[in-house]
Amino acid sequence: MTRQADGGRRTPLSRDRVLRTAVALADRSGIDALSMRSLAQELGVVPMALYKHVANKEQLLDGMVDVVVGEIGPPDGGDGWKDAVRGRILATRHALLRHPWAARVVESRPGPTPGTLGHLDSLIGMFRAGGLSADLTHHAMHALGGRVWGFTQELFPAPPPSADPEVRAAVLREAAVHYPYIVEIATAGAAHDDGSVVGGGCDDRFEFEFALDLLLDGIERLHRQGWSSARHG
Amino acid sequence: MTRQADGGRRTPLSRDRVLRTAVALADRSGIDALSMRSLAQELGVVPMALYKHVANKEQLLDGMVDVVVGEIGPPDGGDGWKDAVRGRILATRHALLRHPWAARVVESRPGPTPGTLGHLDSLIGMFRAGGLSADLTHHAMHALGGRVWGFTQELFPAPPPSADPEVRAAVLREAAVHYPYIVEIATAGAAHDDGSVVGGGCDDRFEFEFALDLLLDGIERLHRQGWSSARHG
DNA sequence: ACCTGAACACCGTTCAAGT
DNA sequence: ACCTGAACACCGTTCAAGT
Protein backbone atom coordinates (compact mmCIF):
# COMPACT_ATOMS: atom_id res chain seq x y z
CA MET A 1 0.00 0.00 0.00
CA THR A 2 1.33 3.39 -0.97
CA ARG A 3 0.22 6.92 -0.18
CA GLN A 4 1.33 8.33 -3.50
CA ALA A 5 -1.14 10.76 -5.02
CA ASP A 6 -0.78 9.30 -8.50
CA GLY A 7 -1.21 5.71 -7.34
CA GLY A 8 2.33 4.49 -7.80
CA ARG A 9 5.32 6.05 -9.49
CA ARG A 10 5.04 5.01 -13.12
CA THR A 11 7.87 7.31 -14.18
CA PRO A 12 11.10 6.66 -12.34
CA LEU A 13 12.77 9.65 -10.70
CA SER A 14 15.50 11.39 -12.65
CA ARG A 15 17.38 14.64 -12.30
CA ASP A 16 15.48 16.02 -15.25
CA ARG A 17 12.07 15.09 -13.84
CA VAL A 18 13.01 16.52 -10.43
CA LEU A 19 14.05 19.83 -12.01
CA ARG A 20 11.02 20.12 -14.30
CA THR A 21 8.62 19.32 -11.47
CA ALA A 22 10.36 21.91 -9.29
CA VAL A 23 9.96 24.53 -12.02
CA ALA A 24 6.27 23.65 -12.45
CA LEU A 25 5.67 23.73 -8.71
CA ALA A 26 7.38 27.12 -8.35
CA ASP A 27 5.36 28.45 -11.31
CA ARG A 28 2.13 27.29 -9.72
CA SER A 29 2.67 27.90 -6.00
CA GLY A 30 5.50 30.40 -5.78
CA ILE A 31 9.13 29.95 -4.86
CA ASP A 32 8.42 30.18 -1.12
CA ALA A 33 6.22 27.09 -1.34
CA LEU A 34 9.06 25.11 -2.90
CA SER A 35 10.83 23.06 -0.27
CA MET A 36 12.61 19.74 -0.52
CA ARG A 37 9.67 18.32 1.40
CA SER A 38 6.91 19.83 -0.76
CA LEU A 39 8.74 18.85 -3.95
CA ALA A 40 9.12 15.28 -2.71
CA GLN A 41 5.42 15.13 -1.91
CA GLU A 42 4.59 16.47 -5.38
CA LEU A 43 6.65 13.65 -6.87
CA GLY A 44 5.17 11.05 -4.54
CA VAL A 45 8.50 10.18 -2.97
CA VAL A 46 10.17 10.56 0.37
CA PRO A 47 12.30 13.75 0.73
CA MET A 48 15.51 11.77 0.94
CA ALA A 49 14.91 10.30 -2.53
CA LEU A 50 15.63 13.76 -4.04
CA TYR A 51 19.17 13.70 -2.71
CA LYS A 52 19.96 10.94 -5.21
CA HIS A 53 19.55 13.45 -8.04
CA VAL A 54 20.54 16.80 -6.56
CA ALA A 55 23.22 17.23 -3.94
CA ASN A 56 21.20 19.77 -1.96
CA LYS A 57 18.69 22.57 -2.34
CA GLU A 58 21.26 25.01 -3.75
CA GLN A 59 22.00 22.62 -6.59
CA LEU A 60 18.27 22.18 -7.15
CA LEU A 61 17.91 25.95 -7.63
CA ASP A 62 20.95 26.01 -9.94
CA GLY A 63 19.32 23.30 -12.04
CA MET A 64 16.03 25.22 -12.17
CA VAL A 65 17.88 28.29 -13.47
CA ASP A 66 19.39 26.20 -16.26
CA VAL A 67 15.95 24.85 -17.21
CA VAL A 68 14.77 28.45 -17.68
CA VAL A 69 17.95 29.48 -19.52
CA GLY A 70 17.38 26.48 -21.81
CA GLU A 71 14.05 27.99 -22.84
CA ILE A 72 15.68 31.12 -24.30
CA GLY A 73 16.21 29.56 -27.71
CA PRO A 74 19.11 30.08 -30.11
CA PRO A 75 20.35 33.52 -31.23
CA ASP A 76 18.61 34.70 -34.39
CA GLY A 77 21.54 36.17 -36.24
CA GLY A 78 20.38 39.72 -36.74
CA ASP A 79 22.27 42.51 -38.49
CA GLY A 80 25.06 44.11 -36.51
CA TRP A 81 26.22 43.43 -32.97
CA LYS A 82 23.87 45.95 -31.39
CA ASP A 83 20.68 44.41 -32.75
CA ALA A 84 21.99 40.92 -32.05
CA VAL A 85 22.77 41.71 -28.41
CA ARG A 86 19.54 43.66 -27.99
CA GLY A 87 17.43 40.84 -29.44
CA ARG A 88 19.16 38.21 -27.35
CA ILE A 89 18.63 40.14 -24.12
CA LEU A 90 14.96 40.75 -24.92
CA ALA A 91 14.53 37.02 -25.67
CA THR A 92 16.09 36.27 -22.29
CA ARG A 93 13.64 38.71 -20.74
CA HIS A 94 10.70 36.86 -22.25
CA ALA A 95 11.92 33.50 -20.99
CA LEU A 96 12.36 34.83 -17.47
CA LEU A 97 9.01 36.62 -17.48
CA ARG A 98 7.31 33.25 -18.00
CA HIS A 99 8.59 32.21 -14.57
CA PRO A 100 7.84 34.89 -11.96
CA TRP A 101 10.30 33.40 -9.47
CA ALA A 102 13.20 33.17 -11.94
CA ALA A 103 14.63 36.69 -11.67
CA ARG A 104 14.88 36.45 -7.90
CA VAL A 105 16.45 32.99 -8.02
CA VAL A 106 19.00 34.00 -10.68
CA GLU A 107 20.01 36.94 -8.46
CA SER A 108 20.41 34.71 -5.43
CA ARG A 109 22.73 32.13 -7.01
CA PRO A 110 26.16 32.42 -5.38
CA GLY A 111 27.96 31.22 -8.50
CA PRO A 112 27.59 30.54 -12.19
CA THR A 113 26.01 27.42 -13.69
CA PRO A 114 26.78 25.78 -17.06
CA GLY A 115 23.66 27.40 -18.47
CA THR A 116 24.45 30.92 -17.29
CA LEU A 117 28.07 30.62 -18.43
CA GLY A 118 26.92 29.51 -21.88
CA HIS A 119 24.50 32.41 -22.12
CA LEU A 120 27.16 34.95 -21.16
CA ASP A 121 29.66 33.39 -23.54
CA SER A 122 27.28 33.72 -26.50
CA LEU A 123 26.57 37.34 -25.63
CA ILE A 124 30.24 38.20 -25.37
CA GLY A 125 30.74 36.46 -28.71
CA MET A 126 28.25 38.86 -30.30
CA PHE A 127 30.20 41.90 -29.12
CA ARG A 128 33.48 40.40 -30.32
CA ALA A 129 32.01 39.42 -33.70
CA GLY A 130 30.95 43.05 -34.07
CA GLY A 131 34.54 44.13 -33.75
CA LEU A 132 34.51 45.46 -30.18
CA SER A 133 37.78 44.98 -28.32
CA ALA A 134 37.99 42.43 -25.50
CA ASP A 135 38.67 45.38 -23.21
CA LEU A 136 35.53 47.35 -24.12
CA THR A 137 33.45 44.17 -24.20
CA HIS A 138 34.58 43.35 -20.67
CA HIS A 139 33.39 46.70 -19.32
CA ALA A 140 30.24 46.60 -21.44
CA MET A 141 29.27 43.28 -19.85
CA HIS A 142 29.82 44.72 -16.37
CA ALA A 143 27.81 47.81 -17.27
CA LEU A 144 24.91 45.69 -18.50
CA GLY A 145 25.23 43.65 -15.31
CA GLY A 146 22.07 41.88 -14.27
CA ARG A 147 20.31 43.37 -17.26
CA VAL A 148 21.70 40.57 -19.42
CA TRP A 149 19.08 38.43 -17.64
CA GLY A 150 16.33 40.62 -19.00
CA PHE A 151 15.26 42.25 -15.79
CA THR A 152 16.20 45.36 -13.92
CA GLN A 153 16.81 45.56 -10.25
CA GLU A 154 13.90 47.76 -9.33
CA LEU A 155 14.25 50.60 -6.86
CA PHE A 156 11.45 48.85 -5.01
CA PRO A 157 8.30 47.10 -6.15
CA ALA A 158 5.53 49.66 -6.67
CA PRO A 159 2.94 49.31 -3.91
CA PRO A 160 -0.35 48.13 -5.41
CA PRO A 161 -2.39 51.32 -5.94
CA SER A 162 -5.71 51.40 -4.18
CA ALA A 163 -8.68 50.76 -6.45
CA ASP A 164 -10.61 53.68 -4.96
CA PRO A 165 -9.37 56.87 -6.69
CA GLU A 166 -10.32 58.99 -3.68
CA VAL A 167 -8.19 56.88 -1.37
CA ARG A 168 -5.35 57.02 -3.89
CA ALA A 169 -5.49 60.81 -4.06
CA ALA A 170 -5.40 61.03 -0.27
CA VAL A 171 -2.38 58.70 -0.10
CA LEU A 172 -0.56 60.82 -2.70
CA ARG A 173 -1.35 64.08 -0.86
CA GLU A 174 -0.01 62.60 2.37
CA ALA A 175 3.12 61.23 0.64
CA ALA A 176 3.75 64.55 -1.12
CA VAL A 177 4.36 66.18 2.26
CA HIS A 178 7.47 64.08 2.84
CA TYR A 179 8.44 63.01 -0.68
CA PRO A 180 7.36 65.78 -3.06
CA TYR A 181 9.70 64.79 -5.89
CA ILE A 182 8.72 61.12 -5.86
CA VAL A 183 5.05 62.06 -6.06
CA GLU A 184 5.78 64.55 -8.81
CA ILE A 185 7.45 62.10 -11.17
CA ALA A 186 4.96 59.39 -10.25
CA THR A 187 2.03 61.59 -11.26
CA ALA A 188 3.56 63.76 -13.99
CA GLY A 189 1.83 63.23 -17.33
CA ALA A 190 -1.52 62.61 -15.70
CA ALA A 191 -2.42 66.27 -16.31
CA HIS A 192 -1.35 66.46 -19.95
CA ASP A 193 -2.51 63.49 -21.96
CA ASP A 194 0.22 63.61 -24.58
CA GLY A 195 1.10 59.96 -24.78
CA SER A 196 3.77 60.17 -22.13
CA VAL A 197 4.12 56.91 -20.24
CA VAL A 198 4.54 58.74 -16.95
CA GLY A 199 1.50 58.85 -14.72
CA GLY A 200 -0.42 55.74 -15.65
CA GLY A 201 1.93 53.55 -13.67
CA CYS A 202 5.25 52.44 -15.09
CA ASP A 203 5.57 50.51 -18.32
CA ASP A 204 8.15 47.85 -17.42
CA ARG A 205 8.98 47.05 -21.01
CA PHE A 206 9.52 50.73 -21.86
CA GLU A 207 11.75 51.31 -18.83
CA PHE A 208 13.78 48.20 -19.62
CA GLU A 209 14.38 49.11 -23.25
CA PHE A 210 15.07 52.76 -22.36
CA ALA A 211 17.89 51.74 -20.05
CA LEU A 212 19.16 49.00 -22.37
CA ASP A 213 19.37 51.39 -25.31
CA LEU A 214 21.01 54.07 -23.19
CA LEU A 215 23.75 51.56 -22.38
CA LEU A 216 24.08 50.05 -25.87
CA ASP A 217 24.16 53.49 -27.50
CA GLY A 218 26.84 54.57 -25.06
CA ILE A 219 28.88 51.45 -25.74
CA GLU A 220 28.53 51.98 -29.49
CA ARG A 221 29.76 55.55 -29.14
CA LEU A 222 32.82 54.42 -27.16
CA HIS A 223 33.53 51.72 -29.72
CA ARG A 224 33.47 54.25 -32.58
CA GLN A 225 35.82 56.49 -30.61
CA GLY A 226 38.27 53.60 -30.18
CA TRP A 227 37.85 53.76 -26.40
CA SER A 228 40.28 51.81 -24.19
CA SER A 229 40.41 51.57 -20.42
CA ALA A 230 44.16 52.26 -20.58
CA ARG A 231 43.44 55.84 -21.63
CA HIS A 232 40.69 56.47 -19.11
CA GLY A 233 41.31 54.38 -15.97
CA MET B 1 19.91 34.73 38.98
CA THR B 2 20.20 35.61 35.34
CA ARG B 3 22.07 34.02 32.44
CA GLN B 4 22.71 37.30 30.69
CA ALA B 5 26.21 37.59 29.28
CA ASP B 6 26.65 41.18 30.44
CA GLY B 7 25.47 40.45 33.97
CA GLY B 8 22.14 42.23 33.83
CA ARG B 9 20.59 44.57 31.31
CA ARG B 10 21.78 47.98 32.33
CA THR B 11 20.46 49.59 29.16
CA PRO B 12 16.76 49.02 28.62
CA LEU B 13 15.69 47.62 25.28
CA SER B 14 14.59 50.10 22.62
CA ARG B 15 13.88 49.93 18.93
CA ASP B 16 17.06 51.86 18.28
CA ARG B 17 19.21 49.55 20.39
CA VAL B 18 17.64 46.49 18.77
CA LEU B 19 18.41 47.82 15.27
CA ARG B 20 21.97 48.92 16.06
CA THR B 21 22.78 45.61 17.71
CA ALA B 22 21.33 43.77 14.70
CA VAL B 23 23.53 45.82 12.36
CA ALA B 24 26.60 45.14 14.50
CA LEU B 25 25.80 41.41 14.70
CA ALA B 26 25.31 41.18 10.92
CA ASP B 27 28.57 43.08 10.36
CA ARG B 28 30.44 40.69 12.63
CA SER B 29 28.83 37.32 11.92
CA GLY B 30 27.11 37.68 8.57
CA ILE B 31 23.46 38.10 7.71
CA ASP B 32 22.79 34.35 7.80
CA ALA B 33 23.77 34.26 11.45
CA LEU B 34 21.22 36.93 12.28
CA SER B 35 18.04 35.35 13.60
CA MET B 36 15.49 36.64 16.05
CA ARG B 37 16.88 34.09 18.45
CA SER B 38 20.57 34.96 17.99
CA LEU B 39 19.80 38.68 18.21
CA ALA B 40 17.85 38.16 21.42
CA GLN B 41 20.74 36.21 22.91
CA GLU B 42 23.15 38.98 21.90
CA LEU B 43 20.96 41.46 23.78
CA GLY B 44 20.55 39.15 26.77
CA VAL B 45 16.79 38.93 26.43
CA VAL B 46 14.24 36.29 25.52
CA PRO B 47 13.32 36.21 21.79
CA MET B 48 9.78 37.38 22.48
CA ALA B 49 11.08 40.62 24.00
CA LEU B 50 12.15 41.78 20.50
CA TYR B 51 8.56 41.73 19.30
CA LYS B 52 7.88 44.70 21.56
CA HIS B 53 10.09 46.85 19.33
CA VAL B 54 9.79 45.32 15.86
CA ALA B 55 6.64 43.70 14.54
CA ASN B 56 8.52 40.84 12.92
CA LYS B 57 11.77 39.96 11.21
CA GLU B 58 10.85 41.79 7.99
CA GLN B 59 10.43 45.02 9.91
CA LEU B 60 13.75 44.37 11.64
CA LEU B 61 15.48 44.16 8.24
CA ASP B 62 13.68 47.32 7.06
CA GLY B 63 14.96 49.11 10.14
CA MET B 64 18.50 47.88 9.54
CA VAL B 65 18.38 49.27 5.99
CA ASP B 66 17.37 52.66 7.36
CA VAL B 67 20.26 52.60 9.83
CA VAL B 68 22.66 52.15 6.89
CA VAL B 69 20.86 54.77 4.77
CA GLY B 70 21.21 57.13 7.74
CA GLU B 71 24.97 56.79 7.51
CA ILE B 72 25.12 58.25 3.99
CA GLY B 73 25.33 61.84 5.22
CA PRO B 74 23.84 64.96 3.65
CA PRO B 75 24.29 65.91 -0.02
CA ASP B 76 27.35 68.12 -0.54
CA GLY B 77 25.95 70.62 -2.99
CA GLY B 78 28.29 70.18 -5.92
CA ASP B 79 28.18 72.06 -9.19
CA GLY B 80 25.59 70.91 -11.68
CA TRP B 81 23.08 68.08 -11.40
CA LYS B 82 25.40 65.47 -12.90
CA ASP B 83 28.17 65.91 -10.34
CA ALA B 84 25.62 66.19 -7.54
CA VAL B 85 23.90 62.93 -8.50
CA ARG B 86 27.20 61.20 -9.16
CA GLY B 87 28.63 62.26 -5.80
CA ARG B 88 25.52 61.24 -3.92
CA ILE B 89 25.45 57.77 -5.48
CA LEU B 90 29.14 57.23 -4.75
CA ALA B 91 28.55 58.32 -1.13
CA THR B 92 25.74 55.77 -0.95
CA ARG B 93 28.11 53.18 -2.32
CA HIS B 94 30.63 53.89 0.44
CA ALA B 95 27.98 53.59 3.16
CA LEU B 96 26.79 50.25 1.82
CA LEU B 97 30.31 48.91 1.34
CA ARG B 98 30.87 49.30 5.09
CA HIS B 99 28.18 46.67 5.65
CA PRO B 100 28.79 43.61 3.46
CA TRP B 101 25.26 42.31 3.99
CA ALA B 102 23.51 45.59 3.13
CA ALA B 103 23.33 45.32 -0.67
CA ARG B 104 21.68 41.92 -0.47
CA VAL B 105 19.21 43.04 2.19
CA VAL B 106 18.28 46.23 0.30
CA GLU B 107 17.57 44.08 -2.77
CA SER B 108 15.40 41.70 -0.80
CA ARG B 109 13.08 44.31 0.74
CA PRO B 110 9.61 43.88 -0.73
CA GLY B 111 8.74 47.55 -0.32
CA PRO B 112 10.16 50.98 0.43
CA THR B 113 11.06 52.29 3.88
CA PRO B 114 11.06 55.90 5.09
CA GLY B 115 14.83 55.96 4.66
CA THR B 116 14.87 54.64 1.12
CA LEU B 117 12.02 56.94 0.08
CA GLY B 118 13.90 59.92 1.48
CA HIS B 119 17.06 58.94 -0.35
CA LEU B 120 15.23 58.56 -3.68
CA ASP B 121 13.39 61.84 -3.14
CA SER B 122 16.61 63.76 -2.63
CA LEU B 123 18.15 62.19 -5.72
CA ILE B 124 15.13 63.04 -7.85
CA GLY B 125 15.28 66.58 -6.47
CA MET B 126 18.83 66.90 -7.84
CA PHE B 127 17.72 66.02 -11.36
CA ARG B 128 14.79 68.43 -11.15
CA ALA B 129 16.96 71.25 -9.75
CA GLY B 130 19.22 70.72 -12.76
CA GLY B 131 16.31 71.45 -15.05
CA LEU B 132 15.51 67.93 -16.24
CA SER B 133 11.82 67.32 -16.92
CA ALA B 134 9.78 65.14 -14.58
CA ASP B 135 9.35 62.78 -17.54
CA LEU B 136 13.06 62.33 -18.27
CA THR B 137 13.86 62.17 -14.56
CA HIS B 138 11.34 59.37 -14.16
CA HIS B 139 13.00 57.24 -16.83
CA ALA B 140 16.47 58.20 -15.65
CA MET B 141 15.66 56.86 -12.19
CA HIS B 142 14.41 53.60 -13.66
CA ALA B 143 17.51 53.33 -15.85
CA LEU B 144 19.78 53.82 -12.85
CA GLY B 145 17.68 51.25 -11.01
CA GLY B 146 19.47 49.46 -8.22
CA ARG B 147 22.59 51.45 -9.02
CA VAL B 148 21.23 54.34 -6.93
CA TRP B 149 22.17 52.11 -3.98
CA GLY B 150 25.77 52.16 -5.07
CA PHE B 151 26.08 48.58 -6.16
CA THR B 152 25.63 46.71 -9.37
CA GLN B 153 23.85 43.45 -9.69
CA GLU B 154 26.79 41.33 -10.70
CA LEU B 155 26.54 38.74 -13.44
CA PHE B 156 27.73 36.36 -10.76
CA PRO B 157 30.33 36.60 -8.01
CA ALA B 158 33.76 35.81 -9.44
CA PRO B 159 34.89 32.44 -8.13
CA PRO B 160 37.94 32.90 -5.88
CA PRO B 161 40.94 32.27 -8.15
CA SER B 162 43.25 29.51 -7.02
CA ALA B 163 46.44 30.74 -5.39
CA ASP B 164 48.57 28.31 -7.39
CA PRO B 165 49.18 29.90 -10.83
CA GLU B 166 49.62 26.48 -12.42
CA VAL B 167 46.22 25.30 -11.18
CA ARG B 168 44.70 28.58 -12.36
CA ALA B 169 46.12 28.15 -15.85
CA ALA B 170 44.74 24.60 -16.04
CA VAL B 171 41.29 25.78 -14.95
CA LEU B 172 41.34 28.52 -17.60
CA ARG B 173 42.43 26.07 -20.33
CA GLU B 174 39.62 23.71 -19.39
CA ALA B 175 37.05 26.55 -19.26
CA ALA B 176 38.23 27.94 -22.61
CA VAL B 177 37.02 24.75 -24.31
CA HIS B 178 33.40 25.55 -23.45
CA TYR B 179 33.48 29.29 -22.84
CA PRO B 180 36.18 30.78 -25.07
CA TYR B 181 34.81 34.32 -25.02
CA ILE B 182 34.47 34.48 -21.25
CA VAL B 183 38.05 33.34 -20.82
CA GLU B 184 39.22 35.79 -23.46
CA ILE B 185 37.80 38.89 -21.79
CA ALA B 186 38.75 37.59 -18.35
CA THR B 187 42.39 37.25 -19.36
CA ALA B 188 42.78 40.00 -21.98
CA GLY B 189 45.29 42.61 -20.91
CA ALA B 190 47.44 40.09 -19.09
CA ALA B 191 49.66 39.84 -22.19
CA HIS B 192 50.13 43.58 -22.78
CA ASP B 193 50.83 45.52 -19.63
CA ASP B 194 49.42 48.85 -20.78
CA GLY B 195 47.50 49.82 -17.69
CA SER B 196 44.28 48.21 -18.84
CA VAL B 197 42.23 47.02 -15.90
CA VAL B 198 41.32 43.80 -17.71
CA GLY B 199 43.23 40.72 -16.69
CA GLY B 200 44.17 41.36 -13.10
CA GLY B 201 40.68 40.59 -11.89
CA CYS B 202 37.93 43.19 -12.04
CA ASP B 203 38.18 46.59 -10.40
CA ASP B 204 34.73 46.98 -8.84
CA ARG B 205 35.05 50.71 -8.44
CA PHE B 206 36.09 51.17 -12.06
CA GLU B 207 33.23 49.00 -13.37
CA PHE B 208 30.71 50.83 -11.20
CA GLU B 209 31.82 54.30 -12.31
CA PHE B 210 32.09 53.17 -15.94
CA ALA B 211 28.44 52.09 -15.98
CA LEU B 212 27.28 55.07 -13.91
CA ASP B 213 28.95 57.54 -16.26
CA LEU B 214 27.62 55.72 -19.33
CA LEU B 215 24.12 56.23 -17.95
CA LEU B 216 24.58 59.80 -16.71
CA ASP B 217 26.23 60.87 -19.99
CA GLY B 218 23.36 59.33 -21.92
CA ILE B 219 20.80 61.08 -19.73
CA GLU B 220 22.63 64.39 -20.17
CA ARG B 221 22.60 63.95 -23.94
CA LEU B 222 18.85 63.29 -23.96
CA HIS B 223 18.25 66.29 -21.72
CA ARG B 224 20.16 68.58 -24.11
CA GLN B 225 18.13 67.20 -27.01
CA GLY B 226 14.89 68.01 -25.19
CA TRP B 227 13.94 64.33 -25.12
CA SER B 228 10.41 63.35 -24.15
CA SER B 229 8.87 59.89 -23.92
CA ALA B 230 5.86 61.17 -25.93
CA ARG B 231 8.05 61.40 -29.03
CA HIS B 232 9.78 58.07 -28.56
CA GLY B 233 7.42 55.61 -26.82
C1' DA C 1 -1.85 43.57 33.10
C1' DC C 2 2.37 42.07 31.92
C1' DC C 3 5.93 38.89 30.66
C1' DT C 4 7.73 34.59 28.93
C1' DG C 5 8.54 29.53 28.45
C1' DA C 6 6.80 26.04 25.92
C1' DA C 7 4.78 24.76 21.84
C1' DC C 8 3.53 24.96 16.90
C1' DA C 9 4.45 24.30 12.27
C1' DC C 10 7.80 24.38 9.60
C1' DC C 11 12.92 23.92 7.36
C1' DG C 12 17.35 21.28 5.13
C1' DT C 13 19.99 17.49 6.10
C1' DT C 14 22.09 13.45 8.80
C1' DC C 15 22.16 8.95 10.17
C1' DA C 16 21.16 4.63 11.80
C1' DA C 17 17.93 1.07 11.61
C1' DG C 18 15.29 -1.97 8.71
C1' DT C 19 14.63 -4.69 4.49
C1' DA D 1 23.55 -2.91 -0.77
C1' DC D 2 19.87 -0.11 -0.85
C1' DC D 3 16.20 2.68 0.88
C1' DT D 4 13.85 5.46 4.31
C1' DG D 5 11.71 6.86 8.76
C1' DA D 6 13.01 9.13 12.62
C1' DA D 7 15.84 12.45 14.47
C1' DC D 8 18.79 16.61 14.69
C1' DA D 9 19.44 21.34 14.90
C1' DC D 10 17.54 24.93 13.58
C1' DC D 11 13.73 28.79 12.15
C1' DG D 12 9.80 32.74 12.97
C1' DT D 13 5.88 33.25 15.52
C1' DT D 14 1.71 31.99 18.53
C1' DC D 15 -0.37 31.36 22.71
C1' DA D 16 -1.58 30.07 27.09
C1' DA D 17 0.09 29.64 31.59
C1' DG D 18 2.34 31.88 35.37
C1' DT D 19 3.45 35.97 38.16
Q: Which residues contact B75 (CB under 8 A, 6 or more apart)?
A: B84, B87, B88, B122, B126
Which of the nucleotides lies closest to A47 (Cα–C1')? D4
pLDDT at A189: 54
pLDDT at A190: 47
| pLDDT exceeds 50 at position B112 | yes
Q: How far apart are CA A233 and CA A203, in angstroms?
A: 36
pLDDT at B223: 98
| pLDDT exceeds 80 at position A49 | yes
Q: What pLDDT digit, counting tens, does each position of A132-187 carry?
A: 999 999 999 999 999 999 988 777 666 667 778 888 889 889 999 999 999 999 88
pLDDT at A5: 43
At residue B53's C-alpha, the angle toward residues B52 and B59, to 5°, is 120
The percentage of chain A sitting over the pLDDT mark of 70, rounded to a whole number, equals 86
Q: How far apart are CA A156 and CA A6, in angstroms?
A: 42
Which residues from B are below 8 Å from A138, CB to CB?
185-186, 188, 198, 202
Total CB pairs under 8 A between chain A and B: 199
Per-position b or e across A19-55, b if 16+ CB within 10 A of its CB: bebbbebbeeeebeebebeebbbbbbbeeeebeebbe
Q: Structural domains in chain B?
A: 6-54 (1.10.10.60), 78-155+194-231 (1.10.357)
Which of the nucleotides lies closest to A60 (Cα–C1')? C12
Q: Of the candidates A107, A121, A185, which has its C-beta nearest B137's C-beta? A: A185
Mean pLDDT of B37-48: 93
B48-56, Cβ contacts within 8 angstroms, sequence gap of 24 or more:
B49/B13, B50/B13, B50/B18, B52/B13, B53/B13, B53/B14, B53/B15, B53/B18, B54/B15, B54/B18, B54/B19
Mean pLDDT of A213-217: 98
Residues A121, B181: C-beta atoms closer than 8 Å: yes
Half-sphere exposure of B10 (CA within 13 A, CB side): 3
DSSP string, chain B: ----TTSS--SPP-HHHHHHHHHHHHHHH-GGG--HHHHHHHHTS-HHHHTTT-SSHHHHHHHHHHHHHTTS------SSHHHHHHHHHHHHHHHHHTSTTHHHHHHH-SS--HHHHHHHHHHHHHHHHTT--HHHHHHHHHHHGGGGGT----SSPPPPPPSSHHHHHHHHHHHHHH-HHHHHHHHTTSSS-SS-SSSS---HHHHHHHHHHHHHHHHHHHHHTT--GGGT-
Mean pLDDT of B168-184: 92
Q: Of the candidates A153, A207, A219, which has its C-beta nearest B107's C-beta? A: A153
pLDDT at A157: 65
Q: pLDDT band at A196, cuts 50/70/90?
A: very low
| pLDDT exceeds 60 at position B195 | no
pLDDT at B187: 82
pLDDT at B167: 87
| pLDDT exceeds 60 at position A1 | no
Mean pLDDT of A11-22: 90
At residue B137's C-alpha, the angle toward residues B135 and B141, to 5°, is 125
Q: What pLDDT digit, counting tens, does each position of B53-111 carry?
A: 999 999 999 999 999 999 998 888 778 999 999 999 999 999 999 999 999 999 889 88
Out of A55-59, B185-189, B196-200, pick the least confident: B196-200
pLDDT at B2: 37
Mean pLDDT of A68-97: 93
Q: Which of A60, A228, A229, A113 is nearest to B155 (CA)?
A: A113
Mean pLDDT of A101-123: 93
pTM: 0.89
CB B89 within 8 A of CB B148: yes
The percentage of chain B sitting over the pLDDT mark of 90, rounded to a whole number, equals 69
Of residues A168 and A233, more confidently modeled: A168
Q: How far apart are CA A29 and CA A49, in angstroms?
A: 22
Q: What pLDDT digit, counting tens, does each position of A26-36 carry?
A: 999 999 999 99
B89 Cα to chain A: minimum distance (Å): 13
Residues B211, A184: C-beta atoms closer than 8 Å: no
3-class DSSP state for residue A114? helix
User: Helices A15-29 and A57-69 sit at what angle, rounded to 10 degrees?
Assistant: 80
Phi then psi dihedrals of residue B80, to 5 deg:
90, 150
| pLDDT exceeds 80 at position B149 | yes
pLDDT at A155: 73
Mean pLDDT of A186-200: 54
Q: Of the candidates B135, B156, B211, which has its C-beta nearest A196's C-beta? A: B135
- B130 exposed, middle or buried (CB, 10 Å; 0-12, 13-18, 19+)? middle
Mean pLDDT of B19-40: 95
Mean pLDDT of B187-213: 70
